[in-house]
Structure 1
Amino acid sequence: MNQIRNNAINNEIQENLLKWFDKNKRDLPWRKTKDPYKIWISEIMLQQTRVDTVIQYYQRFVKRFPAVKELAEADEQDVLKHWQGLGYYSRVRNLHKGAKMILKQYHGIFPDTMEEIKKIPGIGPYTAGAVLSIAFNQPYPAVDGNVLRVFSRIMDIHEDIAQASTVKLIQEKVKELIPQGRASDFTEALMELGALLCIPANPLCLACPLYEQCEARARGVQNDLPVKTKKQKPKKMHMVFCVVKKGEEILMIKNPANGLLGGLWSFPGKEAGEKQDEEAVNQILEELKLNAIDIKKIGTARHIFTHMDWDMHIYQCAVKNKEKIDEEHLWITKEEFGDYPIPKVYQKVCKLILNSNNMDN
């Protein structure tokens, strides 16, 4: 009898969710295609980024790189420039590597098996499941934070969703529920439910198509779920940056490829102790082998990464000679800031420069 009841509940979940999705799904650009390449791009962009933010980036990116070949053959600086502002730049570096791999090993054709797709850089179980289910309509679960939240409530799970055992339990349940022939719609429906109704705080239970099937709602504990280990607060760091000027030109430095914000352009800087700005500025200039004059503070800014909280102190100085020029160092005018991939944290410095009279001769 229990098996019969479980089957009936499973059928209700499938039918109710798909009917709701068919009527309520948002008009998103990546839902207008089954091209695995474009779905891959959207899924990588959507990691740790809001849908509303991603839309414009996705449209611009696929317009410039409409297929694997164009992305694989593109210059890294061009790829980074078209990602600029989305953050988490390791994502786009892996996209670029992945496109090169697909072009070389699979002749530009996106692989359609779990074994092969997981070989692509940056693709883990979630992204693999999303591409296989959405693009190829294969019955693989795609369990992200939204889906973990939905099922922790449906199943009244009080174990930490950060634990591998909890994730595995939910993956197995999702796979069991995927209806034959509608894996693509079911995957997107679950994501949509978590994004629109089964939200983190104060879920909209009365509008939910799974109102009757949700065990947490029936017990009145939906606001207590999911259980999740609290993240550590970002580490506070006192950062000092130098805007080094020669005439109308400003020195930019390319970040190491394997480091934070790798491959993007930044201003010379370093971490320093509070009240040690002057010492830090001198160290930065010494490392660059630059003799500077007219050193002065031009402003402050703040930027919070996932794991770091930067309290930024920005100084300006002038040099007479443009020493130490190589491919990792570049002299540009402030009008050329838009021509190079500069991450958001350093765009705050750019903005300070552009809005300041301090850079005038």
Structure 2
Amino acid sequence: MNPFASALLAWFDEHGRKDLPWQHPRDAYRVWLSEVMLQQTQVVTVIPYFLRFVATLPTLRDLASAEEDTVLALWSGLGYYRRARFLQRAAQICVDKHDGELPRDFAALAELPGIGRSTAGAILAQAYGLRFPILDGNVKRVLTRHLGIHGHPGQSPVEKVLWQHAEALTPAQRTADYTQAIMDLGATLCVRAKPRCDACPMASDCVAKRDDLTTQLPSAKPTKAVPTRDTVMLILRDAEGRVLLERRGPQGVWSGLWSLPEAGDHDQAWRAAQSMATIDDAQALPSFVHVFSHYRLKVEPLLFDEATARPRIADNSNLRWCAPDERAALGLPAPVRTLLQNL
């Protein structure tokens, strides 16, 4: 075993995380679900979502046969909802083509929706103990600092070099533990800001520590201006306290989720509200900004209280009046759920 892996595993045996819920049992379904949830999300945030998800959908077959609204409701708040749709589609393919199991073959696994090279490697290494490297954000940070690799890790030439190192350093023995160990190192010690180099088992031959580069590595992504978009969200609430929700289309952000009807400005909002309900007056609620990865959304909520539904709403399957106690079973974007809870 190479010195890097030996030192990392020795540290893991003493300090690594061994009680994460997806480790008991550490089967392929639970590893896969955790890996997808952990993309762009920290462990502390993921744990309650993971526990709620597996309590409702404990097996891959359960996920494959679930209603999409159920899956999206369980995912609501984690963001990047396309991950949840890919998760369910992949489960359905596994039922149809792989006897209801995630395949052990790398090529077959990587062909499934939402499973890239690193996620496939994590499943094979952790669930099956097979020697496959991973390269998630934590691992990229550890390797760029330890090896002194400059350039943004998301750029193809840099990523290619990182994959070569990840492959070379992954041991044939204790692969599952090594995979967890290098993720743990990045998540607990080799963190983005103020890494704890004094406690790091790799500090003695870390290039970034030696050359005082921990604040420069990994190299930052080239910046570009993030645009801001404006929208008016219509909160049509009837005398029973129900709110009118609209299922979003298959394209764009929050696709397929239940959300609030939107308009470009207040005049459009009034016209849209009048087309869906008999309304009297409107109350402007405090605006807020929701940040996506590629733009900022400035939301102006407009509350129409005591609204009365127009008959055509009942004929539109993408519109529904929803009572507060019914919202938990629907996939709602997190800011919309919060907005309605605060009414």
Q: TM-score, normalised by structure 1?
A: 0.88
Identity of matched residues, %: 32
State the shift of 1:293 in Å: 2.4
Give the aligned partner of residue 256 of structure 1.
249
Aligned residue identity for 1:38: R
* CA displacement, residues 312-342 of structure 1 (integer Å, 9 cap, x when unaligned): 1111225444332222110122343334222
- Give per-residue Cα distances to partners, 1:255-292, cap 9 Å, x unaligned: 1234321222111113x3xxxx4223134336x45453
Check whether the contact 1:234–1:304 (CA below 8 A) recurs between aligned residues. Answer: no
Shift of 1:233: 5.0
Gaps of 5+ in 2: none
Change (3 A) 1:218 1:278: closer
Question: Which region of structure 1 is more displaced relative to structure 2, 258-267 or 112-121?
Answer: 258-267
From 263, 276, 281, the counterpart of 2:269: 281
Q: Relative to 1, partners in 2 of residues 1:125 and 1:328: Cα closer, same or farther, differing over 3 Å?
A: same
CA distance in 1, matches of 2:225, 2:53: 32
1:22 aligns with 2:6: no
* Aligned residue in 2 for 1:4: none
Which consecutive unaligned segments of at least 5 residues does structure 1 have?
A: 1-9, 354-361
Provide the residue aligned with 1:336 in structure 2.
326
Moved over 4 A (4+): 288-291
Amino acid at match of 2:245: M
Q: Is the 2:278–2:310 contact (alpha carbons within 8 Å) kept by the matching residues of 1?
A: no
TM-score by length of 2: 0.93
SS for the counterpart of 1:299 is coil
After TM superposition, give the deviation of residue 214 of structure 1 in Å.
1.2
> Aligned equivalents of 2:243 and 2:208: distance in 1?
58
1:149 Cα deviation after fit: 1.1
Of stretches 304-313 and 81-90 in structure 1, the one that deviates more from structure 2 is 304-313
Q: Verify the 8 A CA contact 1:114 1:128 in the aligned structure 2.
A: yes
Determine the C-alpha separation between the residues in 1 that align with 2:52 and 2:302: 34
The equivalences for 1:33-48 within 5 A come to 33-48=25-40
The RMSD of aligned alpha carbons is: 1.8
1:351 aligns with 2:334: no
Aligned residue number for residue 265 of structure 1: 258
Q: 1:293 to 1:41 in 2, by over 3 A?
A: same
Distance 1:99 1:38 in 2: 12
1:209: which partner in 2?
201
Contact 1:255 1:262 in 2 (8 A): yes
Contact 1:201–1:223 (8 Å) recurs in 2: yes
Shift, 1:223, TM fit? 2.4
CA–CA separation in structure 2 for the residues paired with 1:160 and 1:334: 45
Aligned partner (choices 296, 299, 320) of residue 283 of structure 2: 296
